[in-house]
Structure 1
Amino acid sequence: MTDSSAPASGPTDRARWQAFAVAVGVAALTILDLSKVNVGLPSIEESLGAGSSDLQLIVAGYALAFGLTLVPAGRLGDMYSRKLMFIIGLSAFTAASVLCALAPTIEVLVIGRILQGLAAGIQMPQVIGLVQELFRGEERGRAFGLFGATIGVSTAFGPTLGGLLIAIGGPTDGWRLLFWMNIPLGLLAIVFAARLLPKPSGLRQPTNLDPIGVLLLGAATFSLLFPFVTTTGGGEDSSLRWLWLLAFAGFGALFVWWEVAYRRRGKSPVVHFAMFARSSYRNGVLVATAYFGALPAVFLLSTLYLQQGLGLAPVFAGLVSIPFALTSAISAFYGGRLVARYGRALVVTGLVFVIVGFTLDIVLAITLPAETAPYGMAAALLVAGIGGGFVIAPNQTLTLAEIPVEEGGVAGSMGQLGQRVGTAVGTAAATSLFFGAILQDTGQVTQLAAYHHGFRNGMLMAVALIVLALGLAIADLVERRRARA
């Protein structure tokens, strides 16, 4: 491995962990914004008179903008200063949160959400790059374990936090608290980032930005994500949106051609395809893409089923995901320590637990009475959470184990981009199956039975993606063992 055994140099041990705490805390704030806003959509609809397409843009605009800025921001951080890019992204995220909180119209709120996504995409690659820069070997595994625990808790706790804030602020304007909470936290984080994040080491090689490569990658990313993030599953989606995939094929081919030609001229392309020649990196990105295709979809389906199907209030619907958050945080912490010993086998074990937990979630949700189904779902998610913590953090550690520190930002941002693509595709497929089954069953069975069918169909798609991730992880495990034989 490239640098797994080299000792970390530069900042003291205390300073490194302080910088890590700042970076991961901001990453948690970013991930929370992906999940907590979902429960506020009914409140936004009532307050601002938003239509279904407006509500879709609030969620999709953030995710799309997030994906667009990941790679160029990671590239800039690698080239110049991760600290500077982090502070720029965090400052922009805080300012955009002010715009969202004060939005007088739905149009202003959509613009604010897009700006939030752009800012989140600037700061997130710097977190991965900083972990690569600050830690080595088993210590890096511990750091990614804590990072994975934080991300897992943020993803699962978001709906609960959102429901609680709406309960405090009221059904009409409670959604504004979802954005107001970002502002004091963001300002405080800016102060700590300026004081505690390390300055550029001065060891980085001079390179170039490759602006044409950045533009082509952005166009390919937009074309790929757009038809998925604009899929509502409500029967009103235009089939013409899938023509964007033809544009993706064209821009993707142009991007690959340009990057290869650019490198042949002796220049540094925005993406070094040699990274994907490393099986640990390539397989790790694929596992994460499939896994994150399922995870956000599961929490969105659970929120929809519990609120619309079973009639739970947002705050109580969000509580169902708390067992997943707690168990995944604990297992991620230990997973970061165990990954050096067990490697890819730890990820395989975690995925098996996730499959068992999500399968139990389907069975208990549709077989238990409506009064007890939420408790059964919470128990099933507890099992899935045990496995979830053994997936995210160990997989992140294994994925970046052979990547040089100077490429950490771009490598991490490509992995994050894969996760955003997986999330967009998985969520679109799952929600389409969910709403499609409900629309088909309307008038033929009871409302609860229709929601049973919708939840089952959407969750089966999510389980299929986890099974795909398991197959990829097993293939990588076999490849590693053959290489050692």
Structure 2
Amino acid sequence: MSAAGTPPPAGIDPADDRRRWKALGVGLAAAFMTLLDISIVNVALPSLDRALHASPSDLQWVLSGYALTFGLALVPAGRFGDARGRRNAFVFGIALFTVTSALAGLAPNATWLVIARLLQGAAAGIVNPQVTGVIQEMFRGPERARPFGLLGATIGISTAVGPLLGGLLIALGGEEHGWRYVFFVNIPVGIVTVILGWRLLPARAKERADRHRLDPVGVVLLGIGVLLVLLPLVQEQQWRTPWKWVLIPAGLLVLLAFALWERRYARHTTPLFDLRLFGFRSYALGALIGLVYFGGFTAIFFIYTLFLQNGHGYSPLIAGLAITPFALGSAASSAVSGRFVNRLGRPMVAAGLLAVVVGLAATALALQWFPHVPAPWVTAAPLLVAGLGSGLVIAPNQTLTLSQVPVPQAGSGAGMLQTGQRIGAAAGIAAVGSVFFSSLASSRGNWTTAFEHSLVVATVIIALALVAALVDVGLGRWWRHRHPS
């Protein structure tokens, strides 16, 4: 029996089968830790604001900066793992993540913390494409559904459970120092993961290692393009000049130059990212769905924790508990979605997105209809529905999107997919956060109004992901009708 509880496939030695499931377990632990740090900091914002006297710009950079450097590192790190083997990249990334977590926890001021978070995000970006690449390398065909389902569940649950764990740690450490525990908790986990990763992850891909150059021009163009697009969004409240918006078309032009360079580079050697992957409908639309969904999904926890703590005076622990229904729903549906994704395909993702939209819309309506009922109680049921839907989105979409990616391009393909998710998260936090703070100012401190307005924006963003999923479902049915064999 394999570690997954099923007999190993034909031709797979039982010992090798156990080893690959152990390697997957180490990878999932690393992914959980790095993705947890996207949302766990949300409930700590008011505490570190008071402790470090952080400005609104500092707070946005603590969140968006992590997502930004996370996204910037993913594609080059994935390409490096494809070319030179995944174990070294994985171990280096986890070691760097552990050190920068300690630096963040020791931060004496906001600037120190922001720099530590930028480095911590880059370390997370080094780790995550190696996890996906190991799945692509060690599992084949339909058997990938289960490990990808577990990875998708890890992504969803880590993001949703972060506020609860953060609230518990702050309650344990106290208002003044508890936020530091949010970062220190990574240190023992990181040390163990470094040791086990070195022992269990494959040092080299089974195919012959690719010794070509790692495309530094592509790395620079991609990084500059993403930075130019995101900076005016992240700094929307702080940069008052309208000229900031010029950076977005400038960034799009740089990204166009990146695409042209990669196309030219591919004629001679292996590029940073093979644009031909977008020729697969499953990859192109799946990447779009992931980018847009994370733009709305991640921002919800940012604005909800601010609404509960700063607006209604709830403790970090209560704020974390208020999001638990979403986490429980996501965990429950993620646990079963991997079994049906190969059978149901993208319609499962569309159904999940519809449930998320309905659940979030019901959350906004519940706050309007029952203004005198405590917010954590009145939002519990609709957030549970949204969480159940989210569990049907993240894991199945990851599996379907990467299903046709060749193994030699697994790391860079997964890196670009997750880059979209991280960019979506950073842009979503910036855009939805901007609506939240603007509405708060215009309504003269009405936190409920600010939350409702920003929640509507997040819901509309997720509805756009639903449209993309429905387009994919429609194209799939049209293709099967034209090619019935």
3-state DSSP class of the match of 1:312?
A: coil
Residue aligning to 2:104: 100
Verify the 8 A CA contact 1:33 1:158 in the aligned structure 2: yes
Residue aligning to 2:318: 316
- d(CA) in 2 for partners of 1:35, 1:13: 33
3-state DSSP class of the match of 2:176?
A: coil
Verify the 8 A CA contact 1:365 1:374 in the aligned structure 2: no
Residue aligning to 1:245: 248
3-state DSSP class of the match of 1:276?
A: helix
Deviation at 1:75?
Answer: 0.4
- d(CA) in 2 for partners of 1:38, 1:118: 19
Deviation at 1:305?
Answer: 1.5
- d(CA) in 2 for partners of 1:435, 1:7: 57
Residues 454-474 of structure 1 deviation map (CA, whole Å, 9 limit, x = unaligned): 112111111111211111111
Verify the 8 A CA contact 1:288 1:395 in the aligned structure 2: yes
Shift in CA distance, 215/148, structure 1 to aligned 2, threshold 3 Å: same
Does 2:342 correspond to 1:346? no
- d(CA) in 2 for partners of 1:366, 1:310: 15
Residue aligning to 1:406: 408
Match of 1:263 among 251, 262, 266: 266
Q: Which moved more, 1:450-459 or 1:64-73?
A: 450-459
Residues 164-217 of structure 1 deviation map (CA, whole Å, 9 limit, x = unaligned): 111111111211111111101100111111112122134135333111111111
Shift in CA distance, 384/341, structure 1 to aligned 2, threshold 3 Å: same
Verify the 8 A CA contact 1:64 1:226 in the aligned structure 2: no
Match of 1:195 among 184, 193, 199: 199
Match of 2:277 among 250, 275, 278: 275
Match of 1:123 among 127, 138, 142: 127
Verify the 8 A CA contact 1:148 1:329 in the aligned structure 2: no
Residue aligning to 1:467: 463
Residue aligning to 2:295: 293
- d(CA) in 2 for partners of 1:198, 1:178: 31
Verify the 8 A CA contact 1:74 1:412 in the aligned structure 2: yes
Alignment RMSD, CA only? 1.8
Verify the 8 A CA contact 1:204 1:406 in the aligned structure 2: no
Deviation at 1:261?
Answer: 2.0
Verify the 8 A CA contact 1:287 1:473 in the aligned structure 2: yes
- d(CA) in 2 for partners of 1:64, 1:237: 22
Does 2:105 correspond to 1:114? no
Residue aligning to 1:212: 217
- d(CA) in 2 for partners of 1:7, 1:320: 46
TM-score, reference length from structure 1: 0.93
| Count of matched residue pairs | 471
Opposite residue 258 of structure 1, the aligned amino acid is: W
- d(CA) in 2 for partners of 1:156, 1:201: 33
Residue aligning to 2:4: none
Shift in CA distance, 107/429, structure 1 to aligned 2, threshold 3 Å: closer
% identical aligned pairs: 45
Moved over 6 A (4+): none
Deviation at 1:293?
Answer: 0.8
Deviation at 1:483?
Answer: 1.5
Residue aligning to 1:3: none
Verify the 8 A CA contact 1:61 1:110 in the aligned structure 2: yes
Deviation at 1:292?
Answer: 0.5
Deviation at 1:237?
Answer: 4.7
Does 2:162 correspond to 1:158? yes
Q: Which moved more, 1:39-48 or 1:74-83?
A: 39-48
| Structure 1 unaligned residues grouped into runs of 5+ | 1-5
Residues 286-306 of structure 1 deviation map (CA, whole Å, 9 limit, x = unaligned): 111111111111111211221
